[in-house]
Structure 1
Amino acid sequence: MPADDSEDPNAERQYHIEVGPEDVASSVLLPGNPERVGKITGFWDESEEKGHHREYRTLTGRYDEVPISVTSTGIGGPSAAIAVEELARVGADTFIRVGSCGAIQEGMAVGDLVITTGAVRQEGTSDEYVREDYPASADYEVVCALVAAAERLGYDYHTGITMSADSFYAGQGRPGFEGFEAAGSDDLVEDLREANVKNIEMEAGAILTIANVYGLRAGAICSVYANRITGEFRTEGEHRASETASLAVKLLARMDEVKAEAGAERWHAGLSLD
């Protein structure tokens, strides 16, 4: 078999996402839906498609003169893990999931943003990497950048713990085909609510865990499409999540500049972003 067709994970051009080291910036936004890629790059100064294979569509460009990439991951932890693995292999070191979610606390309106500080690992992908009691925590620089971006843009947001599931229906307490109910589904949302979990989605747990294992920066921001408590549902707010994540990449670049100027290893509140 020719080398270019190999599944060798160390090959320069990656097997699933079909990009190489010169194709992506160090910071990559990770929406699930390939159709969201164009909506994200609409906020950028410029962009160019670098790869499109299966669910993985990658564009690279600039946002306010800062290099930035976006790669769609498809739905769920397994495909998101592949994206992080292969993007890291070609030089990316910062990842921000840009998605949608269901809110499970009152006072979280459809269209609001949820910035994940950590995730309940109900998905199974991260279990393939590390023991089940290892935390799926967001990098605090990424969290700070997302919060600062949302504040600057004037968007309503919430911060807190996300639950990442492996299924949209049974795993999130919804009825399956012909009304099937998974064991424990009656109490799932209420139990999470009482534990102050803010939202449910399907990728953050895997992305955060893998990034931490590899010493990379990662975070997540989702727009609320549904509130599971009030029953409200609308596909609203993805443009806010997209713009906030893009601005966060710019702020992270500034954080890195400030750290270098101050000789600091990590950004902290005593270092200005101005």
Structure 2
Amino acid sequence: MTTPSDVEESTVTEDAPNDTAVPGDSEDPNADRQYHLEVTSEDVADSVLLPGNPDRIGTITDLWDDATTVATHREYRTATGNYNETPISATSTGIGGPSAAIALEELARVGSETFIRVGSCGAIQPEIDVGDLVITSGAVRQEGTSEEYVNPTYPATADHEVVSALIAAAERLGYDYHVGVTMSADSFYAGQGRPGFDGYEAPGSDDLVDSLRNANVKNIEMEAATILTLASIYGLRAGAVCAVYANRQTGEFRTEGDSRAAETASLAVALLAEMDRRKREVGVSQWHAGLSLD
């Protein structure tokens, strides 16, 4: 693995045609070094954790056996290393669906196949405590990015193997967790039922959280639906685990649980590697409950 150096952005011109590039594009989507992440196929592992905050990369890699920062550009910071002797990477996505989609697109182009969002969220069920983990089984697509890929009736579902691995990891680590549906929004304020500047209230915001709570939605965040939808479209594995910073029902707020979410996701990657080995041993394509993990 090599650490990328600063390079000029690759271009597609009439003098250097590319049959698969869109005419007029200023960047080559088929180049090995990716335009926004500035990573190549040699820089990242098959499995990638996706925190939003670039500063959370350090929280994640502190738990690994070893790690090297391979790229930093805009909101995207990427590190690669090993956890429990399993190759693993982490790339920050920034806030929201648009930047998360760019990260997944470019990581997929260099060969990554499994993605786990590692983030923070607000819980909306009263029994979920601040510091607990929420493992997403599926997501309400209340963001707009995924709709630019596929119509809104397409479900944002987490891969069952990733969900199983996250549950097994949380159990082994002894962390309190909840499994269920997440709502992903495009806005931190109006889109999540909070007042905007000067008390502005968006239409429907006054009963948004209550409606979601009544539908047994567990939490609200801003990236899971995009990541899950794109991964499903492309035939990749994806899931999400978020630390609960706030409970919108009880009013409690603390920035707590980042390390627990990071450790759970990292161990899940190692468990997924075990699951993949077990599938190869018995000659099946999907892991199921009849296959044991050590």
User: TM class, shorter-chain normalised?
Assistant: over 0.9
Cα deviations across residues 71-115 of structure 1 (Å, max 9, x unaligned)?
000000000000000000000000000000000001100000000
Query: Aligned residue for 1:64?
Result: 84
Query: Aligned residue for 1:150?
Result: 170
Matches within 5 A, 1:207-222: 207-222=227-242
Q: 1:90 aligns with which of 110, 120, 124?
A: 110
* Contact 2:124/2:218, CA 8 A, preserved across alignment: yes
What TM-score does the superposition give when structure 2 sets the normalisation length? 0.92
> How big is the alpha-carbon RMSD for the aligned residues of Structure 1 and Structure 2?
0.9
* Residue 242 in structure 1 maps to residue 247 in structure 2: no
* Residue 265 in structure 1 maps to residue 288 in structure 2: no
Query: Aligned residue for 2:187?
Result: 167
* Residue 35 in structure 1 maps to residue 40 in structure 2: no
The Cα of 1:8 is off from its aligned counterpart by 1.1
Query: Aligned residue for 1:5?
Result: 10
Q: 2:219 aligns with which of 170, 181, 199?
A: 199
Give me the whole-angstrom Cα distance separating, in 2, the residues matched to 1:49 and 1:154: 30
Query: Aligned residue for 1:232?
Result: 252
Work out which of the two has the higher radius of gyration on C-alpha atoms and give 1 or 2: 2
Query: Aligned residue for 1:179?
Result: 199
Query: Aligned residue for 2:23?
Result: none
Q: Counterpart of 1:138 in structure 2: which amino acid?
A: A
Cα deviations across residues 202-245 of structure 1 (Å, max 9, x unaligned)?
00000000000000000000000000000000000000000000
Q: 1:138 aligns with which of 134, 137, 158?
A: 158
Q: Counterpart of 1:216 in structure 2: which amino acid?
A: L
Secondary structure at the counterpart of residue 43 of structure 1: coil
Cα deviations across residues 8-44 of structure 1 (Å, max 9, x unaligned)?
1111100000000000000000000000000000000
Q: Counterpart of 2:86 in structure 1: which amino acid?
A: V
Secondary structure at the counterpart of residue 39 of structure 2: coil
Query: Aligned residue for 2:18?
Result: none
Secondary structure at the counterpart of residue 175 of structure 1: coil
* Residue 79 in structure 1 maps to residue 99 in structure 2: yes
The Cα of 1:48 is off from its aligned counterpart by 0.5
Give me the whole-angstrom Cα distance separating, in 2, the residues matched to 1:176 and 1:130: 30
Q: 1:104 aligns with which of 124, 130, 139?
A: 124
Matches within 5 A, 1:10-29: 10-29=30-49
Q: Counterpart of 1:84 in structure 2: which amino acid?
A: L
| Runs of 4+, deviation exceeding 4 Å | none
Cα deviations across residues 154-211 of structure 1 (Å, max 9, x unaligned)?
0000000000000000000000000000000001000000000000000000000000
Query: Aligned residue for 2:210?
Result: 190
Query: Aligned residue for 2:3?
Result: none
Give me the whole-angstrom Cα distance separating, in 1, the residues matched to 2:134 and 2:77: 24
The structure where helix makes up a greater share of residues is 1
Q: 2:69 aligns with which of 30, 49, 55?
A: 49
The percent of aligned pairs where both chains have the same amino acid is: 74
